[in-house]
């Protein structure tokens, strides 16, 4: 019987395990990937202050701390079921069962698919897959590619691909369909683009960021959007063009792109063919919450957090006794926020276990403050209105209690 089982060895899970070990709890961390680090392993970008965020180095730091504290981490183990017992939980995996009094779900996020005709051809991949192949497995994804989907994640990963010497033709939208919806709408996309302006050395985007909340300026910018696109790191970004088809017989050979109106409707007669040998589809991220649902945790749909999220409070507790959540399962944010939430969750668990022998309430309060400060200073913000989303969740938690 463990005091805590943590599912997910990303920044949230590792930070939580460290916090628990610092209070001498008996902890097991499980991850289905062969090595710990989660999505951190693929991350490499320059922050607005000019410093580089290198996910592999950040993972090493977390692992060193976890090792010093003799934290038990087991990889290549997949959790497929969890039972709620009277005395805690039984975690079912492909390598046996583990009993624990407390359970922390830190399973992260997954990518939303954006279907485009031809997307089953070899050479089509999600933008996250391209990131993992490039930065984790060091595999060249192709010679020249195009990215379908313009959002915070695709802009960050495009830069990572370029730094690895991969040629990107451009970044365009997916066509509007019942799945892509807003991801194919130039007005909606433009708002997102403006939010990453501080990452781009582009006068146009810096100009745009000053007026991010002014609809008429955004609309004007869209109306007069340059036909050659706006370049970010030398790569044109086209918010008024969309991929309508991916072409090829054995593998990707080209894509058909057309111009779209400011609302995303195709403009007939504007089709052009672009030769590429790979296509990255970037549909956005959503919280990976299935395991919370298996246990019977209540959910709340909150757009600003990325979709359906397990109900939880500011201290990472769910309405189910002994069940905690941290990181992207609680809403899509960057790795620093995930790590801060992990530390907070670990301290919350320690407080519940050690209530009679130690007062760690001050530490929990400090950790809550740290989550907020980290969020305010985050270089990457995936969703606008994240604070509103968090406030909605707090309200939802109290409605359940
Ligand atoms: C494709 C992709 C790319 C991203 N790129 C960036 C980026 O460049 N910059 C950035 O700031 N943020 C990025 N993010 C957001 C990223 O999720 C956070 O930065 C951060 O890694 C979240 O930390 P986490 O600990 O919550 O989850 P993760 O880091 O995602 O870790 C979750 C871990 O849980 C494990 N897991 C999940 N389900 C199970 C199961 N059933 N059994 C066992 N193990 C399981 C996974 O294998 C994974 O290792 C990206 C997210 C995705 C999905």
Q: Dump pLDDT digits (tens) for 228-238.
A: 888 888 899 99
Q: For 40-65, what is the mean pLDDT?
A: 88
Q: What is the 3-state secondary structure (H, E, C) of 260-326?
A: ECCCCCECCCCCEEEECCEEEECCCEEECCHHHHHHCCCEEEEHHHCEEEECCCCCCECCCCCEEEC
Q: What is the pLDDT of residue 28?
A: 98
Q: Worst-scoring range by mean pLDDT, 7-11, 77-81, 114-118, 205-209?
A: 205-209
Q: Give the tens place of pLDDT for each residue, 97-114.
A: 999 999 999 999 999 988
Give the C-alpha separation, 171 to 230, whole Å. Answer: 10
- Report how far ligand 1's centroid is from the alpha carbon of 164 (Å): 21
Nearest protein CA to atom 19 of ligand 1, as residue: 335
pLDDT at 268 over 90: yes
331 φ, ψ (degrees, to nearest 5): 145, 150
Task: Provide the strand spans (E) within 312-386.
Answer: 323-325
Pocket test for ligand 1, best of 55, 79, 81, 107 (most atoms within 8 A of CB): 107
- Report how far ligand 1's centroid is from the alpha carbon of 224 (Å): 38
Whole-number Cα distances in Å, 3 to 8, 97, 98: 16, 15, 11
pLDDT at 7 over 60: yes
For the chain, what is the mean pLDDT? Answer: 91
User: Which residues' Cβ are closer than 6 Å to ligand 1?
Assistant: 7-13, 30-33, 38-40, 43, 78-79, 106-111, 128, 131, 153, 156, 285, 288, 291, 327-328, 334-335, 338, 380
- Report how far ligand 1's centroid is from the alpha carbon of 37 (Å): 8
- Answer whether 218's CB lies under 8 Å from 237's CB: no
Q: Which 3 state secondary structure label does DSSP give 25?
A: coil
Q: Indicate the pTM of the whole model.
A: 0.92
| Dihedral sign computed on CA atoms, order 339, 334, 308, 36 | negative
- Answer whether 330's CB lies under 8 Å from 302's CB: no
Confidence of residue 216 (pLDDT cuts 50, 70, 90): confident
Give the C-alpha separation, 324 to 314, whole Å. Answer: 11
Nearest protein CA to atom 44 of ligand 1, as residue: 31
pLDDT at 315 over 90: yes
Nearest protein CA to atom 20 of ligand 1, as residue: 335
Nearest protein CA to atom 8 of ligand 1, as residue: 43
Give the C-alpha separation, 209 to 196, whole Å. Answer: 8
Residue 371: enclosing H or E segment and its boundaries? helix 361-376
Write the DSSP string, 39-94. Answer: GGGG-EEE-TTS-EEEHHHHHHHHHHHHHHTT-EEE-S--EEEEEEETTEEEEEET
- Answer whether 374's CB lies under 8 Å from 53's CB: no
Cβ burial, residue 201 (10 Å; 0-12/13-18/19+): exposed
Ligand 1 atom with the smallest distance to the CA of 78 is: 42
Give the C-alpha separation, 19 to 332, whole Å. Answer: 22
Give the C-alpha separation, 182 to 263, whole Å. Answer: 9
Higher-pLDDT residue of 7, 196: 7
Pair of tokens at residue 363? 């530490």
Q: For 191-195, what is the mean pLDDT?
A: 72
């Amino acid at each position: 019987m463990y005091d805590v089982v943590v599912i997910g060895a990303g920044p949230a899970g590792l930070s939580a395990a460290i916090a628990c070990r610092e209070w001498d709890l008996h902890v097991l961390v499980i991850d289905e990937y062969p090595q710990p680090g989660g999505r951190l392993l693929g991350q490499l970008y320059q922050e607005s202050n000019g410093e580089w965020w290198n996910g592999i180095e950040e993972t090493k730091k977390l692992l060193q701390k976890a090792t010093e504290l003799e934290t038990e981490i087991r990889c290549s183990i997949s959790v497929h079921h969890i039972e709620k017992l009277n005395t805690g939980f039984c975690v079912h995996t492909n390598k046996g069962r583990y009993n624990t009094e407390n359970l922390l779900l830190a399973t992260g996020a997954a990518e939303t698919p954006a279907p485009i005709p031809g997307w089953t051809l070899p050479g089509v991949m999600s933008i996250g897959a391209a990131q993992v192949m490039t930065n984790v497995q060091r595999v060249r994804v192709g010679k020249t590619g195009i990215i379908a989907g313009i959002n915070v994640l695709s802009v960050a990963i495009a830069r990572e691909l370029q730094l690895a010497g991969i040629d990107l033709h451009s970044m365009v939208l997916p066509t509007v369909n019942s799945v892509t919806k807003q991801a194919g709408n130039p007005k909606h996309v433009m708002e997102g683009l403006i939010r990453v302006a501080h990452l781009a050395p582009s006068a146009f985007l810096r100009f745009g960021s000053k007026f991010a909340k002014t609809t008429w300026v955004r609309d004007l910018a869209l109306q007069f959007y340059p036909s050659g696109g706006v370049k970010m790191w030398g790569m044109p970004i086209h918010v008024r063009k969309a991929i309508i088809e991916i072409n090829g017989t054995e593998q990707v050979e080209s894509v058909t792109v057309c111009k779209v109106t400011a609302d995303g409707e195709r403009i007939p007669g504007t089709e052009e063919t672009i030769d590429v040998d790979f296509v990255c589809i970037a549909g956005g991220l959503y919280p990976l919450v299935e395991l919370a649902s298996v246990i019977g945790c209540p959910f709340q749909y909150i757009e600003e957090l990325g979709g359906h999220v397990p109900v939880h409070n500011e201290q990472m507790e769910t309405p189910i006794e002994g069940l905690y959540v941290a990181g992207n399962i609680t809403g899509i944010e960057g790795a620093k926020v995930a790590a801060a939430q992990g530390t907070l969750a670990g301290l919350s668990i320690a407080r519940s276990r050690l209530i009679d022998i130690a007062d760690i309430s001050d530490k929990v309060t400090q950790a809550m403050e740290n989550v907020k400060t980290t969020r305010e200073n985050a270089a990457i913000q995936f969703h606008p209105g994240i604070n509103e989303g968090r406030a909605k969740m707090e309200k939802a938690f109290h409605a359940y209690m």
